[in-house]
Amino acid sequence: MAMDEEQDREKQLEDAKMRWLKRYTDWVVKRLMEDDFDEASAAEFLTLVRSEVLKRFPNKAREYNLIYRRRFVRILLRKGIFLNLPEDESVS
């Protein structure tokens, strides 16, 4: 019975983390689309975003780069902002 409770607690924690990630990335997308960024401020913002995500999901830099980095850079490209962000897998 204790094992089931532990698994339930782990699943609830993971679900909460995923809900946070969804809300946070939706907020980031909204900011990228609506706020006025230049290249420097966009790069600084995305560096902070990456750091915040990787604090909650350590060792997931590769996944972050594959999913979110590309998504965020595409949004900025549509606004005429080109960023050449590194794709390293280390935590900044």
Across the chain, which has 92 residues, the per-10-residue mean pLDDT values are: 85 96 98 96 96 96 94 96 72 40
Q: Name, in order, each residue with C-beta under 8 angstroms of 78's C-beta and a sequence gap of 6 or more.
A: none
Angle at Cα 31 formed by Cα 42 and Cα 52, nearest 5°? 70
Distance CA 9, CA 24 (A): 22
pTM value is 0.85
Q: Please tell me whether residue 14 adopts helix, strand or coil conformation.
A: helix
Phi first, then psi, for residue 3 (nearest 5°) are: -65, -40
Contact 73, 85 (CB under 8 A): yes
Q: pLDDT value at position 71?
A: 95
